[in-house]
Amino acid sequence: MDELTYQPVPYDVEGDIAKDLQDKDFRREYEALEPKYALIRELLSARRHSGMTQEAVALKIGTTKSAISRLESGSKHAPSIATLMRYAEAVGCELEIKLHPKQQSQKI
């Protein structure tokens, strides 16, 4: 029966990512995904703050829970600005889009 006891395998996600970031190709790909994951974090944070479920948001904007799930998961579909505006309104937020100048790398 002991073989059925849950025994988690230790895994240091941050440590492994830090090691992998030493590889320039990995770092480039990892950084390229940041805007996508930033959007996902914003969506989840706004919905959590609103106290709404995915189903409640879906009902409010006239879509399905699975559509909200896909939106919040960052699936291959890129949401339109109109969709993001409806989502923001449903969770009591305003959509704000900003463009930031790229930082110049310092050459010595």
* Residue 46 structural domain: 35-90
The single residue listed with the structure tokens 């009591």 is 92
Pick the closest to residue 38 from 92, 100, 86, 89 (CA basis). 100
What dihedral do alpha carbons 22, 24, 25, 27 form, nearest 10°? 60
In a domain, 68, yes or no: yes
Tens digits of per-residue pLDDT, 38-93? 999 999 999 999 999 999 999 999 999 999 999 999 887 789 999 999 999 999 99
The single residue listed with the structure tokens 């449903």 is 90
What CATH number has the domain bearing residue 64?
1.10.260.40
pTM of the model: 0.71
For residue 12, the Cα-to-chain-centroid distance in whole angstroms is: 21
In a domain, 63, yes or no: yes
In a domain, 20, yes or no: no
Count how many domains the chain has.
1
In a domain, 75, yes or no: yes
Reading the block at residue 18, the tokens are: 């830090």
In a domain, 29, yes or no: no
